[in-house]
Amino acid sequence: MTLPALRFRRLLLTGAAGGLGRVLRPRLKGWCETLRVSDIAELGAAAAGEEVQAADLADKAAVLALLADVDAVVHLGGVSTEHAFETILPANIVGTYHVYEGARRAGTKRIVFASSNHVTGFYQQSETITPQALPRPDTYYGLSKAFGENLAQFYFDRYGIETVSLRIGSCFPAPRGRRGLSSYLSYDDLERLVRAALTAPVVGHTVVYGASANRSLWYDNRSASHLGYAPQDSSEPWRAELEREVVDPKDPVARHQGGAFVTMGPFEDEVSPAPRPS
């Protein structure tokens, strides 16, 4: 795969110990002189060209230090599944504010924000939606990502920090379930999407859905075509297998784009916060 010309002196990857962080960590190293990786989970030793800097996103001072001397950020950090609001709040809402405030103070001008398809999870699977569709979050998790997108817009309008918000679909080695026929995003297409978000000349605040070139897409990304994202993979090789899955068309999980997320919770009994990958 041809990589773009070196553009960044120091690139920050948050959530580097998470599922997608582990995928992107070795791939991002070719795009910068120094890759700073962060999480509160174990990251191992720094490889050549890396800096390892642990930080809890809820700790403002730690995040401000994390952003020091950073040219651009790929922000994957936070709670990546549904939990009680009290668990989502510190990392996904307060923590994302800390990242943007750190970028403002450090003079960082480009952030790639890992949003989610769950920002619009209550749309029907029969609908095709654009990045301008009114948010309809399916969970507190999706709600936190909608907040992050609004935060990104505010920091662009007020301070000129550009963001590409990636409403990531289902990013795994292979699509999972019938829903994955529409929402699947391959690891290689994730890399293509992040690369486009980092290197497009002007993005302002751009929202784009993160999906491969699936035949049965729910998303119309034409308004984000200036990014130059061109997915090359699709869910089609798994279609015959996944279409054998029997679904009840009246089941909310089968009707809504958010799938199982639309029925998660409530979480009244969650008394201890889940770990906050950062």
228-253: pLDDT as tens digits:
999 999 999 999 999 998 888 899 99
In the chain, the percentage of residues whose pLDDT exceeds 90 is: 90
Cβ(270)–Cβ(83) below 8 Å: yes
Q: Please determine, for residue 65, whether its predicted confidence score (pLDDT) is greater than 70.
A: yes
- Residue 34: which of 21, 18, 52, 19 has the closest Cα? 52
Report the b/e string of 112-150 with b at 16+ CB within 10 A. Answer: bbbbbbbbbbbbebeeebebebebbbbbbbbbbbbbbbe
> Which residue do the tokens 């773009």 mark?
4
User: What is the rounded distance in angstroms from the CA atom of residue 61 to the CA atom of residue 67?
Assistant: 10
Q: Please determine, for residue 22, whether its predicted confidence score (pLDDT) is greater than 80.
A: yes
The ranges assigned to domains in the chain are 8-263
Mean pLDDT of 32-41: 97
Q: Please determine, for residue 146, whether its predicted confidence score (pLDDT) is greater than 90.
A: yes
pLDDT for res 277: 40
The residue type at 165: S
pLDDT for res 203: 98
What are the E-state strand segments in the chain?
8-14, 32-38, 50-52, 72-75, 110-116, 162-168, 170-171, 184-185, 205-210
Cβ(155)–Cβ(104) below 8 Å: yes
Hey, which residues are catalytic here?
141
Predicted TM-score of the model (pTM): 0.93
User: What is the rounded distance in angstroms from the CA atom of residue 159 to the CA atom of residue 188?
Assistant: 32
Most confident of 3-12, 103-112, 263-272: 103-112
Contacts of 225 (CB under 8 A, 6+ apart): none
φ, ψ of residue 205 to 5 degrees: the values are -120, 110
pLDDT for res 278: 39
Mean pLDDT of 135-155: 98
As a CATH number, domain 8-263 is 3.40.50.720
Report the interhelical angle of 19-28 vs 187-199 (nearest 10°): 60
